[in-house]
């Protein structure tokens, strides 16, 4: 059953509280280095402005753990939003205090107010009903458009829905549509690319996907745990020694389900964790001691590319190598370039794989890039997300 969106209820001239995900990265000078999450919230905010709403935005930034910490202020977000919307976005100096009440009570239609970092309130992460109630008192309608926090039951993500009509924004609608369809109604062949550091981080999504996909391509540091489980020496490569049985179980489950599970056949290894370290490509069965695997090799790129060119649905979670270092970003970048030309539904499960694709400028070649990180992983795993469950059904 689908969830109601802002278009399914009457929001005209109403006061609307919108939970956004403005948890953006910024540098030591407090300059935002990636504004994608802010840009992703614009369609919902603009729709509400066009409907003469008084728009009250709230979000967290970083982990202030219930204390007011100036380095986590949303002032940088208010400035960026003002620029992107072409109108002033006023920032309250608190969440539900005097400043928030003054600014939100004096609003005119079409105006936008951003509350200060909601995690400055100790009650936020505890889903404190008192905080939820205070947030709800400021508005007439609640809109959740923060997919990245939908897996958390916090005051601003679920609690407030107990006191106001609660619907989704366009970003959450898009996430549910593309991620949901990619998994439930996938066109075959369906291929999953699973990378990143740890098998343990992705065990839920892997197990769920093994009941749906035709092929799984494994990359990233987690590949060495699988290789070690098969009895190969992985040198000094990162390896979850306590997850070797789990890796074997996954390979066995894939076999029993008739899923083709491919591991790298060659790997680019380095002497140390350094962008300029000495490196070379070796077979995965011949990684010497004193060397560490950091990327998939040329033969693996070729092998994986052949599988992907046949696919009609592709879901990608996690980079295939240490993409932050240029010499070990070749695997991830090569696969991204291959995917750019594949005629298929291509969904990226947020986090580092999204950052890698953004870095090489290929975002527009993918059907959907999730803003969700952990939330998208839990969704792919088949878990119910509290922030979604709290919204009204269609």
φ/ψ of 32, rounded to 5, equals: -65, 130
Among 257, 207, 214, 220, residue whose Cα is nearest residue 378: 207
Whether residue 1 is predicted with pLDDT greater than 70 in this model: the reply is no
How high does pLDDT run on average in the chain? 94
Does 45 fall in a domain? yes
Does 392 fall in a domain? no
140, 188: one domain: no
Position with higher pLDDT, 266 vs 350: 266
225, 116: one domain: no
Looking at residue 121, what DSSP letter applies?
A: S
Q: What is the mean pLDDT of residues 22-46?
A: 93
Q: What CATH number should be reported for the domain holding residue 238?
A: 3.40.50.1260
Whether residue 272 is predicted with pLDDT greater than 70 in this model: the reply is yes
Whether residue 306 is predicted with pLDDT greater than 90 in this model: the reply is yes
234, 276: one domain: yes
> Which residues is 141 bridged to in the sheet?
16
Whether residue 93 is predicted with pLDDT greater than 80 in this model: the reply is yes
pLDDT tens readout for residues 226-242 = 999 999 999 999 999 99
147, 252: one domain: no
> Which helix (H) or strand (E) is 340 found in, with range?
helix 330-340
8 A C-beta contact, residue 40 and residue 171: yes
d(CA 181, CA 347): 10
φ/ψ of 251, rounded to 5, equals: -65, -40
Among 213, 114, 190, 185, residue whose Cα is nearest residue 156: 114
φ/ψ of 164, rounded to 5, equals: -135, 155
Helices 351-359 and 330-340, packing angle to 10 deg: 80
Which residue, 170, 201, 228, sits at the end of a domain?
170
188, 157: one domain: no
Does 299 fall in a domain? yes
Encode burial over 277-300: b for 16+ CB neighbours within 10 A, e otherwise.
bebeebebeebeeebbbbbbbeeb
Confidence of residue 273 (pLDDT cuts 50, 70, 90): very high
Which residue, 135, 150, 170, sits at the end of a domain?
170
- ∠ Cα 64 91 154 (to 5°): 40
d(CA 193, CA 222): 12
Rg (CA), the chain: 23
Assessment of whether the complete model's pTM goes beyond 0.75: yes
In the chain, what's the furthest Cα-to-Cα distance?
Answer: 69
Among 282, 198, 210, residue whose Cα is nearest residue 240: 198
Domain hosting residue 291, numbered range: 178-381
Q: Which pLDDT score is estimated for 350? A: 63
d(CA 369, CA 390): 24
d(CA 230, CA 248): 8
Q: What is the mean pLDDT of residues 323-341?
A: 94
d(CA 172, CA 116): 22
pLDDT tens readout for residues 345-380 = 999 886 677 778 888 888 889 988 888 778 888 888
Does 155 fall in a domain? yes
Whether residue 173 is predicted with pLDDT greater than 90 in this model: the reply is yes
161-175, 200-214, 297-311, 350-364: range with lowest mean pLDDT: 350-364
77, 162: one domain: yes
8 A C-beta contact, residue 231 and residue 287: no
The per-residue DSSP string of 166-189 comes to EEE-HHHHHHHHHHHHHHHSPPSS
Among 53, 40, 60, residue whose Cα is nearest residue 6: 53
d(CA 20, CA 36): 12
Looking at residue 36, what DSSP letter applies?
A: H
Does 191 fall in a domain? yes
Q: pLDDT exceeding 90 applies to what percent of the chain?
A: 82
Helices and strands (H, E) in the chain, number of each type: 13, 15
88, 211: one domain: no
Q: What is the mean pLDDT of residues 21-39?
A: 92
Does 257 fall in a domain? yes
186, 164: one domain: no
d(CA 141, CA 18): 9
Which residue, 135, 170, 205, sits at the end of a domain?
170
What's the total number of domains in the chain?
A: 2
Give the C-alpha distances (Å, rounded to integers) separating 284 from 225, 231, 280, 281.
12, 11, 12, 9
């Amino acid at each position: 059953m689908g969830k109601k969106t802002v278009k399914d209820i009457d929001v005209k001239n109403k006061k609307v509280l919108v939970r956004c995900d403005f948890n953006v990265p910024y540098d030591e000078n407090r300059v935002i280095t990636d504004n994608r999450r802010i840009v992703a919230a614009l369609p919902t905010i603009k729709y509400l402005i066009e409907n003469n709403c008084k728009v009250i935005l709230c979000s967290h930034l970083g982990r202030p753990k219930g204390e007011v910490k100036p380095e986590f202020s949303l002032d940088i977000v208010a400035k960026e939003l003002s620029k992107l919307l072409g109108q002033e976005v006023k920032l309250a100096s608190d969440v539900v205090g005097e400043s928030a009440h003054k600014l939100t009570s004096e609003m005119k239609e079409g105006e936008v107010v951003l509350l200060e970092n909601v995690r400055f309130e100790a009650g936020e992460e505890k889903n404190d009903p008192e905080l939820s109630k205070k947030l709800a008192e400021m508005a007439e309608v609640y809109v959740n458009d923060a997919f990245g926090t939908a897996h958390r039951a916090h005051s601003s993500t679920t609690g407030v829905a107990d006191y106001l009509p609660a619907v989704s924004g366009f970003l959450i609608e898009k996430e549910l549509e593309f991620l949901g369809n990619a998994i439930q109604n996938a066109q075959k062949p369906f291929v999953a690319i699973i990378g990143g550091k740890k098998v343990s981080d992705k065990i839920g999504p892997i197990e769920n996907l093994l009941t749906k996909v035709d092929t799984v391509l494994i990359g990233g540091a987690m590949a060495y745990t699988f290789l070690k489980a098969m009895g190969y020496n992985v040198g000094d490569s990162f390896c979850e020694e306590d997850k070797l049985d789990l890796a074997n179980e996954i390979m066995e489950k894939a076999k029993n389900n008739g899923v083709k599970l491919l591991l790298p056949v060659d790997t680019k290894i380095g002497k140390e964790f350094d962008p300029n370290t000495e490196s070379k490509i070796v077979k995965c069965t011949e990684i010497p001691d004193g060397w560490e695997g950091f990327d998939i090799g040329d033969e693996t790129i070729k092998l994986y590319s052949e599988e992907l060119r046949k696919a009609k649905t592709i879901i990608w979670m996690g980079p295939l190598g240490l993409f932050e270092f240029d010499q070990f970003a070749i695997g991830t970048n090569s696969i991204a370039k291959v995917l750019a030309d594949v005629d298929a539904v291509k969904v990226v499960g947020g986090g580092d794989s999204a950052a890698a694709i953004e870095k090489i400028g290929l975002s527009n070649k993918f059907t959907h890039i999730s803003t969700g990180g952990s939330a998208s992983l839990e969704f792919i795993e088949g878990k119910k997300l509290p922030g979604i469950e709290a919204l009204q059904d269609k």
